[in-house]
Amino acid sequence: MEKLAPAEIKVRATLQRLARQQGVSLAKLSELLGRNPSYLQQFTGRGSPRKLEENDRRILARFFGVEESELGAPEDNSFSGSGIRRGDWVDVPRLALGASAGPGALAGEEAAIGAFRFSSRWLREQGLDPAQLSAIRVEGDSMEGTLRDGDEILVDRTPRGLRDGIHVVRAGDALLVKRLDTAQPGKVVLVSDSPAYRPIELTPEEVQVIGRVVWKSGRL
């Protein structure tokens, strides 16, 4: 095998340092990537593969909260751990789960399976912080009229108190997208836009607000 270049050696040392600082093993990080547990051990110890694949590098950068360039990405293609791309564009992670607009679906693994690219200027104009954004898919028809089954929604996870509007919430193990009605003291009512679905009344303690829905896309 060819001798590693200084930059390749530096990437491996950086990965080992970040793992030590976070108290996580290379085997666990390999499993996070969906790889064999020995994958990153071979990468750091044996130099194989020579470089991390783009998706693996991106997942690790987001996990550690560092720029991809620290893990071998070219400087002009570097993403920060928050998903910010240098320049005029931001890549917002698209998560591998859906928010049910029906009776309720169990929340899955919150791993990125891709990204939506937005203009940095547009996000600033909307008052949105890229570090607090993620995209997920709508599942079900209870929000028909506003959101359809299969729509992609942009969720702003900036911490806020309970307020009215369309939100993604967790109730028990279910992840839901509903309108919140907080007019009644001591109650949070999850309202569907479709009249076929009855409101769901819960206490504030039974609802965890994941974020506010600020944008949608879908097929015509």
Q: For the chain, which domains are there?
A: 6-77 (1.10.260.40), 89-217 (2.10.109.10)
**Other CB atoms within 10 Å distance of the CB of residue 3:** 7
Query: Bigger pLDDT: 111 or 74?
Result: 74
| Closest CA relative to residue 92, chosen from 64, 52, 58 | 58
Percent of the chain with pLDDT over 90: 19
So what's the pLDDT on residue 213? 93
What beta strand segments (E) does 71-147 contain? 89-100, 105-106, 112-119, 133-139
**Other CB atoms within 10 Å distance of the CB of residue 86:** 14
| Closest CA relative to residue 19, chosen from 87, 51, 66 | 66
Residue 189 has pLDDT above 90, yes or no: yes
Where do the H-state alpha helices sit in 66-204? 120-125
> Which of the 8 DSSP states describes residue 84?
B
Residue 186 has pLDDT above 50, yes or no: yes
| Closest CA relative to residue 192, chosen from 129, 152, 144 | 144
Query: Bigger pLDDT: 177 or 172?
Result: 177
Where do the H-state alpha helices sit in the chain? 6-22, 26-32, 39-45, 54-64, 120-125
Residue 81 has pLDDT above 50, yes or no: no
pTM: 0.57
CB distance 169 to 208 below 8 Å: yes
